[in-house]
């Protein structure tokens, strides 16, 4: 079992719809959770960060965290063709070392159709 | 705002050659991370440095080494290159460990 798992893609939604991306993680002690967007051949770009249970909204994006269920999600409202990319869920896992590596899910490829 | 700077952007090497990748973090960021992303894969953590000391080590081959210098820039040295080392190499930086990591544009390494 991977430490961070995302719902299998690819995901295709029409323009203006809500895109829902899901992620589960295995380390119950994890504290920090991130969603990155990555266009093909480009670097990951931070979309959202969330640290406590509940919802966090930023423009068209809403991140949801449920630590009891070890579940993180990202909702994209009013999806635009420019949102078409791979979305990476990343978790900062608790480790014995002092580092804070990110562990990524395999990514969900989103396509927004005009 | 200044971002993470990586050089070179593209690098082509032959098998068994060496390569050096450079990373300049965002000003005032003291922590640097290196990740490797193979084709169709998610980024895999290699190594990180905080205040010029190695802070964490992941799945980095023994053929690779890295360090962080007094000006906080970091270099990833790769020796005896193999075909399987062909990948995108990203550097990220943060202000102290545990904070948000910002990624550079990456270095695309091709080993022929």
- pLDDT tens over chain A, length 114 residues: 788 999 877 999 999 999 999 999 998 888 899 999 999 999 999 999 999 999 999 999 999 999 999 999 999 999 999 999 999 999 987 665 556 889 999 999 999 999
Among the partner residues A43, A49, A97, nearest to B103 by beta-carbon distance: A43
* Closest C-alpha to B66, from B100, B104, B32, B16: B32
CA-to-CA distance for A82 and A113, rounded, in angstroms?
10
* Closest C-alpha to A86, from A5, A9, A4: A9
Determine, for residues A44 and B58 on separate chains, whether the beta-carbon distance falls below 8 Å.
no
State how far the alpha carbon of B75 is from the alpha carbons of B2, B5, B64, B90, in Å: 19, 12, 10, 12
* Smallest CA–CA distance from A106 into chain B, residue: B42
Q: Find the length of chain B.
A: 112
């Amino acid at each position: 079992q991977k430490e961070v798992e995302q719902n299998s893609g690819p995901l295709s939604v029409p323009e203006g719809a809500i895109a829902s991306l899901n992620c589960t993680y295995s380390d119950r002690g994890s504290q920090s959770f991130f969603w990155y967007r990555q266009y093909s051949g480009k670097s990951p770009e931070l979309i959202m960060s969330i640290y406590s249970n509940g919802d966090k909204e930023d423009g068209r994006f809403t991140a949801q965290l449920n630590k009891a269920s070890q579940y993180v999600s990202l909702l994209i409202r009013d999806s635009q063709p420019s949102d078409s990319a791979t979305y990476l869920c990343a978790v900062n896992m608790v480790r014995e070392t002092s580092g804070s590596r990110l562990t990524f899910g395999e990514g969900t490829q989103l396509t927004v159709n005009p | 705002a200044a971002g993470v700077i990586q050089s070179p952007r593209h690098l082509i090497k032959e098998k068994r050659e060496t390569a050096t990748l450079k990373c300049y973090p965002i000003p005032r960021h003291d922590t640097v991370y290196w990740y490797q992303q193979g084709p169709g894969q998610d980024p895999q953590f290699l190594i990180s440095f905080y205040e010029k000391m190695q802070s964490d080590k992941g799945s980095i081959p023994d053929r690779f080494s890295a360090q962080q210098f007094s000006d906080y820039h970091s270099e990833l040295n790769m020796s005896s290159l193999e075909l399987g080392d062909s990948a995108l190499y990203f550097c990220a930086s943060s202000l102290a460990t545990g904070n948000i990591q910002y990624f550079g544009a990456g270095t695309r390494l091709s080993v022929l």
